[in-house]
Amino acid sequence: MTDRVINVLFLCTHNSARSILAEATLNHMSKGRFRAFSAGSSPRDNQQPNPLALKVLQNAGIAIDGLRSKSWDEFGKPESAPMDLVITVCDNAAGEVCPYWPGQPATAHWGYPDPSEAPGDEAQKQDAFHQTLLAIRRRLELLVNLPPDKLERAMVQQAARDLSRA
């Protein structure tokens, strides 16, 4: 598994904030070892990434080209790229019955509060998105720096679950 790119799917309910932040951030910092995707269990009709999520990513120097909200159904098809790791980033998605994932990936839950529900004015809401990005980045830095032996299929699930406590 360590000789190839590791596919990671981040799941949330609407695929507009936390999962988008995680997808873009891991792709930005992955050093070619990972390829990140994101999806939602039930994105709304015409769902788009949250503008504050996109703004925070841009402010951090992370590319937002190609980011879009999508259903997890796109990744459960037999012709879909097999995922090595599926990480839920919100409690709602963690409690839902996930579809069958080709390749039977390792799974983990990294819960983050929904920054789009933060109270306050625009600056306070933007700060909530920024704090969420920092929390996600902290775990992703640990993930991308895991030694190759920790990324073997049998180890990646435990390593990812251990990072939920980081």
- The model carries a pTM of 0.86
Q: Specify the pLDDT at position 101.
A: 66
Q: Contact 165/14 with Cβ under 8 angstroms?
A: no
Query: Torsion-angle region of residue 61: left (phi > 0), alpha (psi -120 to 50) or beta?
Result: left
In the chain, domain spans: 6-151
Q: Specify the pLDDT at position 1.
A: 47
For residues 85-124, b (16+ Cβ closer than 10 Å) or e, as one string? bbbbbbebbbeeebeebeeebbbbbbebebbbebeeeeee
d(CA 144, CA 36): 12
**CATH hierarchy code of domain 6-151:** 3.40.50.2300
SS3 85: strand
d(CA 99, CA 36): 18
Q: Specify the pLDDT at position 105.
A: 84
d(CA 101, CA 112): 23
Q: Specify the pLDDT at position 39.
A: 93
Q: What pLDDT tens digit does each residue of the chain (166 aa) get?
A: 446 789 999 999 889 999 999 999 999 999 888 999 999 988 877 889 999 999 999 999 999 999 999 998 888 887 888 888 999 998 665 455 566 666 678 888 899 999 999 999 999 999 999 999 999 999 999 999 888 777 775 466 666 667 777 6
